[in-house]
Amino acid sequence: MTSVADNQLEADGLPPITQQRRLVTEVPGPRSRQLAARKSAAVARGVGTMLPAYVVAASGGILLDADGNQLIDFGSGIAVTSVGHAAPRVVAGVSDQVQAFTHTCFMVTPYEGYVAVCEELNRLTPGSHEKKSALFNSGAEAVENAVKIARAFTGRSAVAVFDHGYHGRTNLTMALTAKAMPYKHGFGPFAPEVYRAPMSYPFREPAPIDGAQAAHRAIDILEKQVGASMLAAVVIEPIQGEGGFVVPAEGFLPTIARWCRAHGVMLVADEIQTGFGRTGAWFACEHEDVAPDLITTAKGIAGGLPLAAVTGRADVMDAAHVGGLGGTYGGNPVACAAALGAIATVEEENLLGRARHLGSLMLTRLTAMAERYPSIGDVRGRGAMVAAELVTPGTIEPDAALAAAVSATCHRNGLVTLTCGTYGNVLRFLPSLVMADDLVVEGLDILERAFAERSSTTHSCP
């Protein structure tokens, strides 16, 4: 049966989308280049695009561009479409909801979908304690609200964050974010009472240090800079996303969590990038049995629709006064229907298991590539959140130019890859969890050819 989307493609002179890479023009092709020219004239310069292949349809792990090219998507819209593009349960839920109603504002006349999403979040997030949730539109908004709630509960104002951390682009979340360019440069002054501590970043430690030691190094600095009694919250990504897919040494997160608990500081796990099965567990905190006081979610929560949440201890969540939390669109009914479809997809298609499987497939292959290409200094990740950090061979000197060149070669060959990292030298891989193995392997083949083309194969002696 042909779908509405297929009919539209036919009208545009394009074939139906299939789960295969297919290049029929250079990437980006002529239609995309025309659109890019319109973009330059109409869209503010500050909104950049990484690969200007304009998408007309997407399904599973494939993007179809305006020129008829089918690209393998290792970015998932930055860790959003974990259940795949146009996931059937998401499409069905959204279609039904759009026809029923699109908006009332939950703060005015409520609807069941919002409550059902909060119930699911309370059920799925780590910890057996009583929980409550509140819904928002974007990750940054969720982080802002987690800080508001932590401040209301503790009566304190200071917030601690970590080197390399990323939490968004609003004023408070710019303050929480570490990297100046492009996120903060020229946009200050920033919100006060934010303190930054060193992260556990095993590849870049000057000397071996275990997770607990790295945590005590951070705690020591926070105690000196601000003091636990002033801190409302410690906000931490269990695995850093934009900062470079930094997986802290084992023991780092639990040690920080214990210190928070001992001092009444709210531990806020920012799982906006790591959540909803991406790392092979519902939430990355689970890998080390940490149950945070508050957890922020977005991205993978709703299969591509804008939705975000704060979930946490019921007593903490209820600290904000009635009317203190909310927003016109937060928990929009269409986004809630999408979230219920996405959650059902993860459960019914065992996507946690798929994430672990894809992770081991990618890590094995990337580790073998690192043997051949000494510019791959480190390979790391959990589940289907995997990265390769590129360096000058034999050193830990970041090689951002190589990361950009390898990524650009992948794009030309029909593989969407993303870079990240404080030094811009990390290639990150976030395929949808429904992507078939052969497509993932084909993507890795393209990546390997890009390395062969771009990097020196000579091992330098340490």
Ligand X SMILES: Cc1ncc(COP(=O)(O)O)c(C=O)c1O
Summarize as ranges the residues that interact with ligand X (CB under 6 A). Answer: 78, 138-140, 143, 166-168, 237, 241-242, 270, 272-273, 298
Q: Which is nearer to ligand X, 241 or 414 (CB)?
A: 241
Provide the terminal-to-terminal Cα distance of the chain, rounded to the nearest Å.
60
Q: Which is nearer to ligand X, 310 or 450 (CB)?
A: 310
β-strands 266-270, 294-297: how paired?
parallel
Give me the residue label for tokens 């994430």.
Answer: 355
Q: Which is nearer to ligand X, 19 or 171 (CB)?
A: 171
Q: Is the bond preceding residue 182 a cis peptide, omega within 30 degrees?
A: yes
Least distance (Å) from ligand X to the CB of residue 66? 25
Nearest partner of 455 among 420, 428, 427, 429, judged by Cα: 427
Q: Which is nearer to ligand X, 31 or 278 (CB)?
A: 278
Q: Which is nearer to ligand X, 120 or 270 (CB)?
A: 270
d(CA 205, CA 76): 31
Q: Which is nearer to ligand X, 76 or 255 (CB)?
A: 76
Q: Which is nearer to ligand X, 94 or 309 (CB)?
A: 309
Helix, strand or coil, per DSSP, at residue 73: strand
To 5 degrees, how large is the angle CA 233–CA 237–CA 242? 130
Least distance (Å) from ligand X to the CB of residue 143? 6
Least distance (Å) from ligand X to the CB of residue 411? 20
Residues with Cβ within 8 Å of residue 105, at least 6 apart in sequence: 328, 329
Q: Which is nearer to ligand X, 167 or 454 (CB)?
A: 167
Element (H, E) at 56: strand 55-59
Least distance (Å) from ligand X to the CB of residue 366? 21
Least distance (Å) from ligand X to the CB of residue 301? 10
Q: Which is nearer to ligand X, 87 or 140 (CB)?
A: 140
Least distance (Å) from ligand X to the CB of residue 448? 27
d(CA 362, CA 354): 12
Least distance (Å) from ligand X to the CB of residue 246? 11
Q: Which is nearer to ligand X, 165 or 333 (CB)?
A: 165
The crossing angle, in degrees rounded to 10, of helices 437-454 and 400-412 is 130
Task: Report the sign of the C-alpha dihedral through residues 191, 196, 202, 203, in that order.
Answer: positive
How far is the CA of 407 from the CAs of 34, 87, 236, 241, 309, in angstroms? Answer: 23, 27, 28, 17, 32
Least distance (Å) from ligand X to the CB of residue 14? 30
CB neighbour class for 451 (10 Å; exposed up to 12, middle 13-18, buried from 19): buried
Q: Which residue is nearest to ligand X (CB)?
A: 139
Reading phi first (left if > 0) and then psi (alpha if -120 to 50, else beta), residue 56 is in: alpha
How far is the CA of 272 from the CAs of 57, 169, 186, 390, in angstroms? Answer: 25, 14, 26, 25
Other residues' Cβ atoms within 10 Å of the Cβ of residue 349: 17
Least distance (Å) from ligand X to the CB of residue 243? 9
Least distance (Å) from ligand X to the CB of residue 457? 34
